[in-house]
Structure 1
Amino acid sequence: MNEIYPLAVPKGRKLKCEVCEAPAERVCGACTVTYYCGVAHQRADWASIHEKICQLLIPLRTTLPFYNSEEERKHGREQLLQRQKHLIELCYKVAQKYLFEGKHEESVPAALHSLRFRINVYGLNSVQLVPAYLLLSEASIGLGHIVQAEEYLSQAQWTVLKSTDCNNEIHSLLHRNLGLLYTAKENYEDARYHLANDIYFASCVYGSEDVRTSGAYFLMANVFFHQKKMDVADSMYTKVTDIWHTFLDQHIQNQLCARKKPADILAKELENDTGLDEPQEAEAVHILSTILEIREHTAKEKPEIIIKILKTVAMLHYLMMNLSKAHELAVKAYVLSKELPNKEDESQALRELLGLIASKNSVISKASKYFLNQGH
């Protein structure tokens, strides 16, 4: 982490902390355009997002250069706008990834940055602010700060209510967070209502069988699980597993087909190939690992159910290049598949997956030896 220094504030100039907006006493020594009320908030911001955007903030927070023409000035403003939009998306995805990983405290500074950049670009009343409010609400729920979560959700709801161009994706996100809030408050009836709306709006945007809709089914299943309505919860966990199994298996089948053709270049063999961005991968790991844990405790007499979720999680880890974890889960599923009465199809699919894992391990090993030799 870069050093931070006491701040000599110029007379008449009020500087605010990046995290809490209290009067600032310190400045980041690397960018010199970011201020903090003290060491604790500077360190929290650095760990969350500032390390990733430190140098990107300099052109946004320094005086624009002198332009010789209106055309140059327009171009400069467009560049500034594009930088701000890039930071909105970057901060949003970083905060989202932290939330899926259960790192609620770390997500807050990144979400605040996304909100502030949205305000700068779109204004205080824009519906574009809603996703950032919802991130902050979800982080607050995770931290047990229910009152704070309700305040962010109220801001989001009021903004949506005033908007004339709010799309189904925003409605889906809003209902999902309201569902999370009511689940945390153990008001399961209202939670189900909002999560049912989430499923509806997400299905309108992505389709009912899309992985981006699966999160809504998963949260609804959790509500029924908390209510000990296991039959309904079980059917919804099965739907989530089926959606992810279909999605991931398509990537696996593509790789199996590729193995029958001439070998691709080494870089292609080594790359991550989930078709997901980092927050989506973190969401997939969270959802599927949770379902696996539940299945291993509640479905011991139904090996076929456990095998499918084991295989699904194994495929995910394989495509994310977590090969040791993928191998561990695939072997576990393969051993269990021997207990099935009609076991050959499932066992064959797992043997193919294990073959892919072994092949990828071999390619990585050869690549490592090659680069080590090149180094000598």
Structure 2
Amino acid sequence: MNQYLRVGAVDYLVVNTLAKPKKKKDECEMCGKVGILQCPTCRVTYYCNADHALIDQVGIHSSICLLLKELRTPVAVMGSERDRIKREHQMEKIMLTVIETSKREAMKHLVANQFEHAMAGALQAQRHSIELFGADRAELVPSYLLLAEASMGLESYEQAESYLAKARYNVLEHPDCSNILRSRLHRAWGRLMLVTGRIDEARQELAEDIYYSSVDRGPSHIDTTQGYFHLANSFRLTRQDDIASRIYDRVVVIWLAYLSEALRHIIEKAPAVGSTMTQAPGSSGDSGSGAGRKGKKKKKKKTSQKSGKKDGVEGEEDVVAQEEEEEEDYSELLEDTHVSEMIGTITRILQFREEHSGVNSFMTAQTRRCLGLLHLYAGNGEQASAELETSFDIFKEVKGEDCQECLTVRDEIENYL
């Protein structure tokens, strides 16, 4: 008679390991130890203890349970060569779905600071990427970056460095690796250097991050702002707040420019059902939470060459000479995890502003306006209203009710809320 152990909302089968053949080893999805609990739905995943079962269930398994069952359940009779090839193609598609779902869920948990749950998704992405692409391919780099981010969140810095070393090796093995992937690898290294106190190395890595992102998207693109943000953090750690402040300003200005145009575009293209934007831009479609996909770009080539090596903040000037200028196409929406991440980023910049510039300063008002527009983009109408109204009040106090900033914020409140 089967024995069960209830973990969360799931009754797991208790495995009698003594009854298993000696050569058959069912490994824990989280750590690789001998599994003693079996998922009752798919019956192909095992866990060494209840904690790992719960972490995996919440982190990723509930989203890929039936997909794993199809991947791992052997076929009794294969049939013809044509049937075999057809099944291989089906398995590849399923595996790609598992990889993309796992990466998406891991990123969602990272943004929410749920690092153990993020680790579960990242491990599945890594495992199936190795199986599908091979161990030394560039396709594994995103999974290694997720694993490193989760490890940093859990303060397992040696483990994070190990994952980043593997990612760097795979990038070096593939010189044609994309600039954006190189950017994110350097960003992850920079963050690790920051949390382990290696500030000079962190700045070099973050300068590389900004360089590659600028080459790919442009120095004033929203994708480059995370590099600026972490670089500013490095100057805060050495109490160079004036430098940090200028870099934070750049992040806010870039996002204000993007959000102003993106929200205007959404209103212009939306059906004539009223002027409110208190629902997320993507909530009426198939994305469900204000998050869709990143906008396409229109490129405009420049012919001059890069003049020299980048160094810290000044690296941006080297990039501008050879960059491909890109104009945003606002017809597509940002991913929800990207918006959530930036809400956290701008919130931290706002805290810095209030501490160093005062709660009623011009730049505090600008940062609040940026945060309000981000909440508006995400469909958080109440938070958006609060931030925009506070921003308006500060602008009014600092520059007067008839200033351009007050007029702009008033228009945003009237048109979007």
TM value normalised by structure 1: 0.88
Asked if 1:143 corresponds to 2:202, the answer is no
Q: Aligned equivalents of 1:158 and 1:146: distance in 2?
A: 18
Partner residue in 1 for 2:13: 5
Q: Which residue of 1 aligns with 2:85?
A: 74
How big is the alpha-carbon RMSD for the aligned residues of Structure 1 and Structure 2?
2.3
1:238–1:61 CA distance, 2 compared to 1 (3 A): same
Q: Distance in 2 between matches of 1:293 and 1:153?
A: 30
1:347 aligns with 2:406: yes
Residues in 1 aligned to 2:215 and 2:186: alpha-carbon distance in whole angstroms: 14
Contact 1:251–1:273, Cα closer than 8 Å, also in 2: no
Aligned pairs for 1:89-104 within 5 A:
89-104=100-115
Q: CA–CA distance in 2 between the matches of 1:270 and 1:204?
A: 33
In the alignment, the residues of structure 2 paired with residue 242 and residue 41 of structure 1 have an alpha-carbon distance, to the nearest angstrom, of: 43
1:123 aligns with 2:131: no
Q: Give the one of 155, 163, 176 matched to 2:174.
A: 163
1:189 is aligned to 200
C-alpha separation in 2, matches of 1:262 and 1:141: 47
Contact 1:97 1:283 (8 Å CA) reproduced: no
| Kept in 1: contact 2:372–2:383 (CA 8 A) | yes
Per-residue CA distance 1:36-72 (angstroms, 9 max, x = gap)? 1111100111111111111221111111364554333
SS in 1 for 2:167: helix
Contact 2:56 2:120 in 1 (8 A): yes
Equivalences, count: 357
CA contact under 8 A between 1:326 and 1:357: conserved in structure 2?
no
1:306-358 Cα deviation digits (max 9, x unpaired) = 11111111111112111111111111111112113264322222222222454
Percentage of pairs with the same residue: 29
Alignment of 1:1-376 (within 5 A): 1-9=9-17, 10-11=20-21, 12-64=23-75, 66=77, 68-257=79-268, 262-263=272-273, 271=284, 273=290, 275-300=333-358, 303-341=361-399, 343-344=401-402, 345-358=404-417
1:133 alignment partner AA: Y
Question: 1:96, CA displacement in angstroms?
Answer: 1.6
CA contact (8 A) 1:100 1:279 kept: yes
SS of equivalent to 2:170: helix
**Kept in 2: contact 1:327–1:357 (CA 8 A):** no
Task: Note the C-alpha offset of 1:278.
Answer: 2.3
Give yes or no for contact 1:2–1:30 (8 Å, CA) kept in 2: no
How far does the alpha carbon of each residue in 1:71-117 deviate from its partner, in whole angstroms, 9 at most, with x for none? Answer: 33322211211111121111112212222222222211111111001
Q: Is there any run of 5+ residues in structure 2 with no aligned partner, and where?
A: 1-8, 292-332
State the SS of the aligned residue for 1:102. coil
Greater helix share, 1 or 2? 1
Give the direction of change, closer, same or farther, for the CA distance of 1:16–1:270 in structure 2 (3 Å limit).
Answer: closer
Cα distance in 1 for partners of 2:65, 2:254 equals 39
- Secondary structure at 2:44's aligned position in 1? coil
Contact 2:59 2:118 in 1 (8 A): yes
Query: Residue 353 of structure 2 contacts residue 359 of structure 2 at CA under 8 Å; is this kept in 1?
Result: no
TM-score by length of 2: 0.80
Bigger CA drift: 246-255 or 119-128?
Answer: 246-255
Q: Deviations over 1:188-227 (max 9, x none)?
A: 1000000000001111222212211111111101101111
Unaligned stretches of 5+ residues in structure 1: 359-376
Deviations 1:235-291 (A, max 9, x none): 1101111111111111222245458x8437999896355611122122211211111
